[in-house]
Amino acid sequence: MDLLFLSRRIFLGDGSHETPLHGGIVVDTQGIIRRVLRSAQEVNTYLYNIESEAVYDFGDLVLMPGFIDANVHINEPGRKDWEGFVTATKAAAAGGFTTIVDRPANASPPTTSVANLKSKTNTARGKIYVDVGFWGGIVPGNRDQLAPLLAAGVLGLQCTLFGSAPPVGEEFAAVDEAQLEEALQRLEAENEDEGVIAVHAELPLPVDIPTDEEASREYASFLVTRPPSMEVSAMQLLSRLAQRYPRRRLHALNVSSAEALAPAEACQRAGGQLTVGTCPHYLALSAEEVPKCGTEFKTWPPIRESSNQERLWRALRPGGTIQMIASDHSPATPGLRCLTGGRGRGNFLKAWPGINSLQLSLPAVWTALGGGGGTSDDLSLSLADLHRLMCWQPAQLCGLGRFKGRIAEGYDGDFCIWSPEEEFTAIPEELYTATKATPYAGRRLRGVVHATVVRGLHVYQMFEGFGQPLGKVLLRKSSRKVVKFVRM
């Protein structure tokens, strides 16, 4: 028998209702939405005529499509102590995310070949609480693996223009413009048009900025080494390639500098397939509030000054230059983050860059930008904006929009049930991630997730905890004749 989910505030995300409705959602035993009941009267009629296996009534809580994070570092196999599949997907579920997409870089081995992809998927199965897809990696020398990776099921390809910090940099090296164009040419020659190429968009400076070792425990000592020009030059590069290869969609990851938006906007207006993503920490945190030794705030590109934020906020509006928000969740062990005792504690110049934010992304964004938040009314996000930026556009980016990202007949029964009005204090020990340090520690945040449902199954409930790890590996099976997703 079917399952029935009820709420007085259902946001469908299908374009038909900008405001939540009082109704219900019928999900079959396969986890697929079979019917949407769009009024209390329809619900009463359904309950009178049809018996359901179970009825879940969430009252006044918002029930909306589960969120999708297309930018998550799960470091298993190889670096499970940084972040593993169990811990990452539990954090995702507790944060209202029903699908995440794993970056290729931080595991050992990285996802730069079909064999390494199989190692990832074999490790993931049976451990994941939400659905997980994968990016394949572009590194120097693996161009012969790119089309096979797409054929094997990665949702897209990803590279970096600036070398990662050690030890990852030795295994997942940066590419330059010539190498990235070579990859594009190889895919074009093989008539491989599917799959986006996502790029960490910072280019090395012609001359490195000298570092002030004496002031290494001050955030400014690090911030000055990653100026906006690194992002601007990278975005100009991507804009050139997007217009040179119009059939290929490119995506700029982790954009922090508002100055980088101008070349992206010009490319978009000229018809180039270039999309832009930013992260919660660039919208919610500022350089001025980073404390001395607060290396949990360090990331690449850096969190910039508050004067930079309003231009990012404005670019989130419908039709703006930024299409989506994703966490870039990238924790590491306390030692690598320079968070342990000793002379190295708090050294911004040596700490591993990355933010622990997956579980807190929704409340971080909602607190900073949600209705009644810290921004002016013309910059506030509505539920429709939140859905567009953190659900529908990520689904479109990764090719999942045919069965995820909205509440409609035939779509997966993936839901986030939450209270936009409730507040809580972020406590690191209450995070489900493998490591706990986060820049949101002690902050009062608004937006509490009460339950997360994946294909009709409760994978997380606020007071009961977690269900079984029934998430699925998402692999796209593709050819020039057939495009089909295999959910295994």
Q: Domain map of the chain by residue range?
A: 3-60, 67-406
| Lookup: tokens for 141 | 């020398």
Residue 14, pLDDT score: 85
Residue 326, pLDDT score: 98
Question: What whole-number distance in Å separates Cα of residue 95 and Cα of residue 89?
Answer: 10
Provide the CATH number for the domain formed by 67-406 in this structure.
Answer: 3.20.20.140
Instruction: Give the type of residue at 404.
Output: K
DSSP state of 389: I
Residue 370, pLDDT score: 78
Digit-by-digit pLDDT tens for the chain (488 residues) are 899 999 999 999 987 777 899 999 999 999 999 999 999 999 999 999 988 889 999 999 999 999 999 999 999 999 999 999 999 999 999 999 999 999 999 999 999 999 999 999 999 999 999 999 999 999 999 999 999 999 999 999 999 999 988 889 899 999 999 999 999 999 998 888 788 999 999 999 999 999 999 999 999 999 999 999 999 999 999 999 999 999 999 999 999 999 999 999 999 999 999 999 999 999 999 999 999 999 999 999 999 999 999 999 999 999 999 999 999 999 999 999 999 988 889 999 999 999 999 999 999 999 999 764 555 566 789 999 999 999 999 999 999 999 999 999 999 999 999 999 999 999 999 999 999 999 999 999 999 999 999 999 999 999 999 999 999 999 987 643 333 344 44
Question: What whole-number distance in Å separates Cα of residue 6 and Cα of residue 14?
Answer: 18
Question: What whole-number distance in Å separates Cα of residue 250 and Cα of residue 269?
Answer: 15
Q: Residue 425: CB partners within 8 Å, gap ≥ 6?
A: 442, 443, 444, 445
Angle between helices 261-269 and 228-244 (to 10 degrees): 20
CA distances from 18 to 5, 41, 81, 367, 387 (A): 20, 20, 42, 20, 11
Which DSSP string do the residues of 196-265 spell out, in sequence order?
Answer: EEEEE--PPPSSPPPP-GGGTTSHHHHHTTS-HHHHHHHHHHHHHHHHHSTTS-EEEES---GGGHHHHH
Phi, psi of 421 (to 5 degrees): -90, -30
Judging by DSSP bridges, how do beta strands 274-278 and 250-253 pair with one another? parallel
Element (H, E) at 148: helix 146-152
Helix and strand tally (H, E) in the chain?
Answer: 14, 19
Instruction: Give the type of residue at 244.
Output: R
Instruction: Give the type of residue at 72.
Output: V
Q: Quick check: 194 and 483 in contact, CB under 8 A? A: yes
Question: What whole-number distance in Å separates Cα of residue 242 and Cα of residue 274?
Answer: 6
